[in-house]
Amino acid sequence: MKTINPATGESLKEYANTSFEEFEGIVFKANEAQKHWAKKDFAIRAPYLKKIAELLKEQKNELAALMAKEMGKPLAQGVGEIEKCAWVCEYYANKASKFLDRKFIKTEANRSYVTFEPLGTVLSIMPWNFPFWQLFRFGAPALMAGNAVILKHAEVTTGCALKIEEIVHESGIPSDLFRTILVENDDMKPIIQHEGIAAVTLTGSTRAGKIVASQAGEALKKTVLELGGSDPYLILDDADIRKAAETCAISRLINSGQSCIAAKRFIVTEKVYDEFLDAFKFELEKRNVGDPFEEETDVGPMARTDLRDTLHEQVSKSIEMGAEVVLGCDKPEWKGAWYPVSLLTNVSKGMPAYEEELFGPVASIIKVKDTNEAIEVANDTNYGLGAAVFSSHREKAEQIAGSQLNAGCVFVNAFVKSDPRLPFGGIKNSGYGRELGRYGIREFVNIKTVWVE
């Protein structure tokens, strides 16, 4: 297992894989540690999470540099990711006891109530695109709920995975309670199905989600899946075009376009189509593509050359089917996983740019007649993670967001983002279950009914 700098193609470091025998020792010790951890009060667990937050803040520049080196994230975005991780740790340290407090319900019983007890050791299978945030948005609530965590991270961010373990251990938390394993994807089935694993969470592609859900299902293990998205952004007749264009550009190019909740399909009513196209093109052209270690860089390299090549195949096929190039869409010949900021118009049903998730800095614009057609096109997808509506008529936009768009998260006049205070997750091929908020911390607990005569 080795890591590679996607900006240069140079090999960074090689790591020895965790054997299955080593994993069995890790999971046995994790379960033993979890039994003791589960008995501790929230007030005892919370300081460990707060210490993790403190360590993350202290090391944010170093951690951002590690992400830039391993997967190409621009430094400023990496610093923001680490600060958000600290926030989620502090949030659950302060809120977990309230979210999991015993709930009394009046019935014919003398007393009846619901308790929330940890499940045990949870296996976390995480992707490379937000290597710290993806883990901590699950790990902070899981640990505060009383679970143990075993992390299997993406191979390209192995250094990040080991650094996460180091920081968690440095907080003073029992070392066996949180462990990182280095295992190839093809070798995960016996680990997922191991009797010492109580539940599994995965953030990744829809294909990976189906595999993990199937393997976990064979062993009747609880799963939470946060998968891909093809997020539609609706630009309606009465939208503030300048603000919409700026917001859409930011969303499309976050993490060099490699985000499940990045804006993917821009559905624009014909009345404002030309105005939006001009403004959007202007905003995209303003973004600087370059070395992720340079302060002025907005868009770095993609994480791997094979991912870049897949994206280019999707773009090329869409062009062959009639999509028109406004920006970019040419694959550079130099070393590294680079791809230009790109814009396609005349995108229609059947094209990859319409049907599939484009995981990179490529935007697809779809022209529609009116609001009703915009909603219809937005819902015409196998995904259902995020969506956004841009309109100066807030009540109308809120009604569309609240009851007419099929997605787990819908934002009005803003880009989709995850927030520790709100549940996050999708429907359809974007997965199931929720992370964050009070709902996220309840995913990996036993919701137990107690009846006392």
* CA–CA–CA angle 200, 160, 169 (5° rounding): 75
Which residues touch 289 (CB under 8 Å, ≥6 apart)?
297, 298, 299, 300, 338, 340, 341, 361
How far out from the chain centre does Cα 289 lie?
23
Rounded distance, CA 139 to CA 143, Å?
Answer: 6
Rounded distance, CA 162 to CA 282, Å?
Answer: 41
Rounded distance, CA 357 to CA 328, Å?
Answer: 18
* pLDDT recorded at residue 333: 86
Of the residues 248, 260, 329, 409, only one is catalytic, namely 260
Rounded distance, CA 124 to CA 145, Å?
Answer: 15
| Fold classified for 2-227+427-452 | Aldehyde Dehydrogenase; Chain A, domain 1 (3.40.605)
Q: How far apart are the first and last CA of the chain?
A: 58
Which residues touch 450 (CB under 8 Å, ≥6 apart)?
111, 112, 113, 114, 115
Q: How many residues does the chain have?
A: 453
Q: Dig out the tokens for 137 from the structure.
A: 């948005």
CB distance 250 to 213 below 8 Å: no
Q: Are domains 2-227+427-452 and 232-412 of this chain identical in fold?
A: no
Q: Dig out the tokens for 314 from the structure.
A: 């999707």
226 catalytic, yes or no? Answer: yes
CA distances from residue 441 to 174, 212, 222 in whole angstroms, order as listed: 20, 21, 14
Rounded distance, CA 268 to CA 173, Å?
Answer: 50
Tell me the H-state helices in 72-131. 75-99
Amino acid code (one letter) for 192: I
Domain range annotation of the chain: 2-227+427-452, 232-412
CA distances from residue 18 to 33, 42, 148, 429 in whole angstroms, order as listed: 20, 32, 18, 31
* pLDDT recorded at residue 401: 98
Of 204, 303, 213, residue with least CA distance to 256: 303
Of 375, 444, 366, 429, residue with least CA distance to 403: 375
CB distance 333 to 38 below 8 Å: no
| Fold classified for 232-412 | Aldehyde Dehydrogenase; Chain A, domain 2 (3.40.309)
* CA–CA–CA angle 427, 430, 433 (5° rounding): 60
CA distances from residue 327 to 122, 198, 331, 363 in whole angstroms, order as listed: 44, 48, 12, 9
E strands present in 246-300: 265-269
Of the residues 90, 226, 357, 443, only one is catalytic, namely 226
Secondary structure (3-state) at 399 = helix
* pLDDT recorded at residue 119: 98
Which residues touch 312 (CB under 8 Å, ≥6 apart)?
331, 339
Rounded distance, CA 260 to CA 230, Å?
Answer: 8
- Phi and psi, residue 426, nearest 5°: -130, -175
E strands present in 194-247: 199-203, 222-226, 232-235
What residues pair up with 209 in beta bridges, in sequence order?
A: none
Amino acid code (one letter) for 383: Y
H or E segment at 52? helix 42-58
- Phi and psi, residue 224, nearest 5°: -125, 130
**pTM score, whole prediction:** 0.96
Of 291, 308, 13, residue with least CA distance to 4: 13
Which parts of the chain have pLDDT scores under 70?
none
CB distance 222 to 199 below 8 Å: yes
* pLDDT recorded at residue 142: 98
Mean pLDDT of the chain: 97
**pLDDT, tens digit (0-9, with 9 covering 90-100), for 402-432:** 999 999 999 999 999 999 999 999 999 999 9
248 catalytic, yes or no? Answer: no
What residues pair up with 253 in beta bridges, in sequence order?
A: none
Rounded distance, CA 49 to CA 214, Å?
Answer: 33
* pLDDT recorded at residue 334: 85
